Structure 1
Amino acid sequence: MTLAEPDVSVIIGAYEAMPYLVECLASVEAQSMDPARIEVIAVNDGSRDGTGDCLDEFAARAPMPVTVIHQENSGGPSGPRNVGLAKATGRYVFFLDADDRLGPEALERMVAMADKNGTDVVLGRVEGINRKPPQSMWGKTLDRTDVFSSNIKFTLSAQKLFRRALLERHGMRFDESLWTGEDALFTMEAYLRADGVSVLADYTCYYLVGRTDGKHVTKSGSYTLRFDSARALMELLARMLPPGAKRDVLMVRPFLVTVLPQFGPVFLRNDEEIRRTKMELAKPLMDAYWNEGVAHRLRVHERLRLHLVAQQRPDLLADVIEFIKAKTAPTPVLEKRGTRLYLAYPHFRSKPAGIPDRVYLAEPREAKAYPGWRQGSTESFLRRATRKIRRTLSQRRTTPRSATAA
């Protein structure tokens, strides 16, 4: 007997997903949750490799209700996900990619986590199979957190459990105009609108499978699409957050994950026309959103490269990338009695280059790895205060008494 409202709707958008789809569907069928509490909505996005037949066969045998929708190819993952979301009736939705798979207890554990804590989004631990997954957010299970006080901003893929009422209340859908990064936009908005996020780090809920046929969307597409993705995410953050520390901490993500890789070793392999185009595409993003609040949250070599992009200096940038590519260690320059550390990457204190010293200044999290550096703020203040008191006492001892005091 099926429930009027399933606990979770599993939405699978599938395009040319064979043979990976077989194990994906098997992982849904093997869920420990009562099948009556699950519904599956699968959208065959114009596949011609047997994907549609595989979905139909699964619908005929699966212990849970399955809806299969066949449509012409939409050109990306957003369309199928939106179609599935429009059909969903579950309290929660989970977006499952057709080439990936679930851990056996994934849905049961994630739904229980959301119900226990009243949270709107649940992240289940991800492991990779022939593919590197995000890692920095799985340190420990968090019953309740948010995007500002955890590392969840570095996993913006759609493979999360979302409370459907949250998505419907805000009319949230995937942006079908984006060919890549559409899930980052959707997930970041959900994080910002959510009444709490849970992180389930002690059980592998999701297996991210690396395809060997080169059909992963994240591995394909023009570099121009990456700038489109970065711009869309930056604009979302600017709309939803006022200028300040909270916006800056989230702006780190598109700068670090989407923009900066375009100015790594691949930049050296690009011809002059592509280099010029990349600088042109980056300029409005740097002008609008790059600031000291974002910059000081990055490591020196990251900050330096983005500073040179902002200054439109591809000549100097190429020197820095060559230096990093060669794995040359920058010379540490300690000043202010060891409380200030500069990392002398190329063009440090070069008058012709004119790059400010602050660009090379290591923040404490990076500086602490270098012998001789020490935290200066509180200790220096106390030391200065002590010296001032000593000078005052010394002056009092050496000042002669006035004649009237005799």
Structure 2
Amino acid sequence: MTMAQPDVTVVIGAYEAMPYLTECLASVEAQTIAPERVEVIAVDDGSTDGTGECLEEFAARAPMPVTVLRQENSGGPSGPRNVGLAKAAGRYVFFLDADDRLGPEALERMVGMADRAGTDVVLGRIEGVNRGAPKSMWGRTLERTDVYSSPIKFTLSAQKLFRRSLLERHGMRFDESLFTGEDALFTMEAYLRADGVSVIADYTCYYLVGRDDGKHVTRSGGYTLRFDSARALMNLIAGLVPEGPRRDLLMVRPFTVTLLPQFGPRFLKDTDDVRRRKLELARPLMDVHWTEGVARRLKVEERLRLHLVAGQRLELLMDVLRFVREKEQPRALLERRGRRVYLAYPHFRDRAAGIPDSVYLASPREARAVPGYRAGGTDSLPRRAARRLLAPFRAVTPA
């Protein structure tokens, strides 16, 4: 007799996951969705701590069908996820990290939402346990939205429900050449190709667990890997979204979340060689993807740092970072009868530095926090100022 197609395949990639794996598997066993609607494919990625044996024991007792695959270590989470995805039979796929856990109603609610709304991706509320978790996208439950209309671009981890036909139609797999940010690339592509995305904000579907030993399935590496991740995500966005405001909106994510931290306070502790190397790695990304539209969407301090990165202005960047490290607050300068606000970070109107005023122009949110500001003048950078914003980058000689 032919078995009915499961509603959802849970793919678990596991490497050295003990003892966290036991709670992860218990959360799968406790799901309120009927067991016959679920299948589990667990991939042991060369563990030596009993992870594989734990998965085998789970397969023997679980109420739903469980397939355990064991392989040599692949070096990252992409390989096991791809192996599991290739074996999946469910209408939907959910990627569960072996040290995290599901809320009891997670699968039932997410599958129900996808079926009801007809959407291709469902985000279930995430809560951190001994670690941080994304917050901005959980304001309210949304049956149908997209990556442009909501903050979902700021949660690009793989722990989402994906319609498998979407993934198969576009041949989507995790990039095994990336060792950090591979899930961001996969999830952003799914958002962009999806016929609608749903958000479940009123129930915690996923618990993101911080390990006591400081390890995690998605292990990070050296700084060069971050530039690889930023480049891949920027190129994906540029390849799928035409030039213009929508592309600029999405580019904010790799610029602020992936690239900008490489030029934060930690940059002050880097060696001279590492600083020069980081600027060298950033140069092609800034040349190709840094636009007026992206710059306008950033806070002054973010915009200023990236302006200096684009211009390869090392010494000026160091001055700004020292200012930021000391948690100093920039002086606010109101002009045009209070309708324009500048934040005087280092080198504001310093003729020798030659940084345009437009770089220091406060965003609407920043401006509203300044006493005496009169709304109506800084809802966006003035067109003339915006056009000047990028021009100095191209001709600047590295400091």
The answer to whether the Cα contact below 8 Å between 1:125 and 1:205 also exists between their aligned partners in 2 is: yes
Matched AA of 1:254: P
> In the TM superposition, what is the alpha-carbon distance from 1:50 to its structure 2 partner?
0.2
The answer to whether the Cα contact below 8 Å between 1:305 and 1:320 also exists between their aligned partners in 2 is: yes
The answer to whether structure 1 residue 183 and structure 2 residue 183 are counterparts is yes
What's the CA shift string for 1:253-312, capped at 9, x where partnerless? Answer: 000000000011100010100000000000000000001100010000000000000000
Taking the TM superposition and a 5 Å limit, the aligned residue runs for 1:339-378 are 339-377=339-377
What's the CA shift string for 1:22-45, capped at 9, x where partnerless? Answer: 000000000000000000000000
The answer to whether the Cα contact below 8 Å between 1:180 and 1:217 also exists between their aligned partners in 2 is: no
Secondary structure (helix, strand or coil) at the match of 2:247 reads helix
Q: Aligned partners of 1:219 and 1:363: how far apart in 2?
A: 35
The answer to whether the Cα contact below 8 Å between 1:3 and 1:37 also exists between their aligned partners in 2 is: no
The answer to whether the Cα contact below 8 Å between 2:12 and 2:41 also exists between their aligned partners in 1 is: yes
Say if 1:8 and 1:217 are closer, same or farther in 2 by CA, change over 3 A.
closer
What residue number does 2:389 align with?
A: none
The answer to whether the Cα contact below 8 Å between 1:106 and 1:124 also exists between their aligned partners in 2 is: yes
Secondary structure (helix, strand or coil) at the match of 1:70 reads strand
What's the CA shift string for 1:307-333, capped at 9, x where partnerless? Answer: 000000110011111111111110000
What residue number does 2:98 align with?
A: 98
What residue ranges of structure 1 are gaps of 5+ in the alignment?
380-406
Taking the TM superposition and a 5 Å limit, the aligned residue runs for 1:312-331 are 312-331=312-331
Secondary structure (helix, strand or coil) at the match of 1:185 reads helix
Q: Aligned partners of 1:313 and 1:279: how far apart in 2?
A: 9
Secondary structure (helix, strand or coil) at the match of 2:324 reads helix
How many equivalent residue pairs? 379
What residue number does 1:265 align with?
A: 265
The answer to whether structure 1 residue 128 and structure 2 residue 119 are counterparts is no
> In the TM superposition, what is the alpha-carbon distance from 1:87 to its structure 2 partner?
0.3
Say if 1:2 and 1:362 are closer, same or farther in 2 by CA, change over 3 A.
farther
What residue number does 1:230 align with?
A: 230
Matched AA of 2:174: F
> In the TM superposition, what is the alpha-carbon distance from 1:4 to its structure 2 partner?
2.1
Normalised by the length of structure 1, the TM-score is: 0.92
Q: Aligned partners of 1:289 and 1:159: how far apart in 2?
A: 28
Secondary structure (helix, strand or coil) at the match of 1:39 reads strand
Q: Aligned partners of 2:75 and 2:291: how far apart in 1?
A: 36
Normalised by the length of structure 2, the TM-score is: 0.93
Q: Aligned partners of 1:11 and 1:46: how far apart in 2?
A: 16
The answer to whether the Cα contact below 8 Å between 2:268 and 2:318 also exists between their aligned partners in 1 is: yes
What's the CA shift string for 1:26-78, capped at 9, x where partnerless? Answer: 00000000000000000000000000000000000000000000001111000
Q: Aligned partners of 2:88 and 2:220: how far apart in 1?
A: 30
The answer to whether structure 1 residue 32 and structure 2 residue 32 are counterparts is yes
> In the TM superposition, what is the alpha-carbon distance from 1:214 to its structure 2 partner?
2.5
Matched AA of 1:274: V
The answer to whether the Cα contact below 8 Å between 1:2 and 1:37 also exists between their aligned partners in 2 is: no
The answer to whether the Cα contact below 8 Å between 2:339 and 2:378 also exists between their aligned partners in 1 is: no
The answer to whether the Cα contact below 8 Å between 1:43 and 1:83 also exists between their aligned partners in 2 is: yes
The answer to whether structure 1 residue 338 and structure 2 residue 338 are counterparts is yes
What residue ranges of structure 2 are gaps of 5+ in the alignment?
380-399
The answer to whether the Cα contact below 8 Å between 1:11 and 1:40 also exists between their aligned partners in 2 is: yes
